[in-house]
Chains A and B, each alone.
Chain A
């Protein structure tokens, strides 16, 4: 008998976007409120896992054609290069700076280079979590 999980599929298709939006919110809020790259990355990985659970490995692998291992490498590289950036300006390693900018929609906004480091953490956490879970899921030994 084929089970019918249309309710699960419909709700998760909506909820995934809510979770992803919340994860981006957490990621950007990290400087002044609880949140940051680690928890944001875990939340995003949670959204992907919900997709995998409700639609199955095959379907989602067809849609999301990414190798999550590259996320780990890319995230680590971004974090390291943020540190290397301070070499260029002859500052101690991992020095960060910030400034105020007027952006079109948001008005006066504080932009800090620490966000790039967090972006590295965000990508690495997504990569690690998804690699662990998908490797175990695909294991047929």
Chain B
């Protein structure tokens, strides 16, 4: 039964490898990818249901007991994030055939895509730090493939920065794991938590914790380490941007949440205050970037940064309420960022440009696209019936209750500015005089289906918050108490 939690990693990896053999037979590979992602979504939904009903599933691979072997821990947090990942994967699998050119699709796009999904699931599931590194590399290797796919000049220029920075942070990751191993003698997260709990988090352990934070802040694009992100994410085609924007930075945030709730929770005064300050700057600088540009893809890419600020703020405040707010916001943001990148990709196909000054009056020709964008903008900014609201509400409530007034006010102002930055696209791009549309050979009608699929999920997540909220609040409570995780893994 515990083998079940390996399936979300195994299914995409095996399928991706099989498609290496049929790369020229596109109809087969496209249909195969769509079937595999739907199958994987169904399997993940079942496993998630099982985990929520019966408690954490732990797989000790190879039958070796917990601190000695590699373990995979499917707890409620990991499984709900994997479920979200697979929802995005389904949308991307149905978006890709209608938006990519044949050359990119034939050059192993679907293989890279499925390996990326497998790597992300692995990073969410793993129970030891070195395996977290390995799965990070799996998903980064796939993302290097995707970011250079097609080989346009801009993509190559941005990919050099992207690869260099990620190599740097990966080297720092390995070095930090080496430090941690030499101090504690283990890399199993549960055992690390026990051992660090015994010795109190002394100076060197806090240093190692901050080094981990720098690693994940680079991967997750936090202030001041976000500079590589917006351009690198917008140069590839829309579906690749959507995958990156929805999944890659969020794996870094997940790692921060996991490591700083489970392992480095002994010196909260220092580390978590540091997080709150950084979260404030991340919010301000991210939204300033989003307001500063007229490129619609860049506006969405810059909006990733304040969202990350919100999540880190929840970790910094560190109560069960604010942590559950972070997780709600994380799930909401993965879905809505994917939807927005796909929407902006559709707008760019229709208008033939991504310069906001040249686009206007699209709502006459494409009313459905326009209203979908309007709803997505409201969801992103967190207006009450939608999903962004509940996460932010919990975050702000947590911040006010614990006396972090400055960050809460910054967060409120940022929300307003996010709304302005997205509504600028709607007002300038969709209203106004009609523009001369370029003659498109391909219709964007098939693109509506994956976008509306994500939007419907996003609306359900907000309107049906009553169903999801108890589970997510339970995750928040479990995160503040590491013994839940430790007991599940070490079975003491």
Which residues of A line the B interface, CB within 8 A? 69-70, 72-73, 76-77, 80-81, 83-84, 86-87, 91-96
How many chain B residues have a CB neighbour from A under 8 Å? 15
A96 to chain B: which residues have CB within 8 Å? 62
> What is the distance, in angstroms, from B249's C-beta to the closest C-beta of chain A?
27
Surface stretch bound by A, among B9-17, B85-93, B329-337: B9-17
A-B contacts besides A73-B21, A84-B14, A94-B62, 10 pairs, CB < 8 Å = A70-B21, A73-B20, A77-B17, A80-B17, A92-B3, A92-B60, A93-B6, A93-B10, A95-B61, A96-B62
- Do B62 and A77 have beta carbons less than 8 Å apart? no
Decide: B18 and A77 in contact? CB cutoff 8 A: yes
Chain B residues touching A, majority SS: helix
In chain A, what residue has the closest Cβ to B111? A73
In the bound complex, residues from chain B placing their C-beta under 8 Å from that of A80 are 10, 13-14, 17
Instruction: List B residues at the A interface (Cβ < 8 Å).
Output: 2-3, 6, 10, 13-14, 17-18, 20-21, 59-63
**A73 contacts B6, CB within 8 Å?**
no
- Nearest 6 pairs between A and B by C-beta? A73-B20, A76-B17, A94-B61, A93-B6, A94-B62, A95-B63
Chain B residues lying within 8 Å of A86, measured Cβ to Cβ, are 3
- Minimum C-beta distance from A125 to chain B (A): 15
Give Cα A77–Cα B60 distance, bound, in whole angstroms. 22
Interface on chain A toward B: helix, strand, loop, or mixed SS?
Answer: helix
Q: Which residues of chain B come closer than 8 Å to A70, judged between CB atoms? A: 20-21
A96 to B63, alpha carbons, bound, how many Å? 9
Q: Complex formed: what's the CA distance from A95 to B3 in Å?
A: 11
Complex alpha-carbon distance, A87 and B59, angstroms: 12
Please state if A87 and B17 are interface contacts (CB–CB under 8 Å). no
In the complex with contacts A80-B13, A84-B10, A91-B63 CB distance below 8 A: yes
Cβ contact within 8 Å between A87 and B14: no
- The smallest C-beta distance from B145 to any residue of chain A, in angstroms, reads 13
B10: which A residues are within 8 A, CB to CB?
80, 83-84, 93
Closest to B71 in A: A92
Least CB separation from A114: chain B residue = B62
Question: How far does the Cβ of B327 sit from chain A's closest Cβ, in whole Å?
Answer: 27
- Which residue of A has the minimal Cβ distance to B5? A93
Give chain B residues whose Cβ lies under 8 Å from the Cβ of A81: 14
- Chain A positions within 8 Å of B59 at CB level: 92-93
B14 near A95 with CB under 8 A, answer no
By a CB distance below 8 angstroms, the chain B residues around A73 are 17-18, 20-21
| CB neighbours of A72 from chain B (8 A) | 20
Measured CA separation A93–B7 after assembly (Å): 10
Q: Are A92 and B2 in touch, CB under 8 angstroms? A: yes
Contact A92 B61 (CB under 8 A): yes
Residues of A within 8 A of B18 (CB): 73, 77
Determine if B17 and A93 form an interchain contact, defined as CB atoms under 8 angstroms apart.
Answer: no
Q: Which residues of A contact B21 (CB under 8 A)?
A: 70, 73
Min CB–CB distance A129 → chain B (angstroms): 16
User: Max chain B CB contacts within 10 Å: which of A72, A76, A92?
Assistant: A92
Instruction: Return A50 CB to nearest CB of chain B, in Å.
Output: 27
Name which residue of chain B comes closest to A80, CB basis. Answer: B14
Residues of chain A within 8 A (CB-CB) of B63 are 91-92, 95
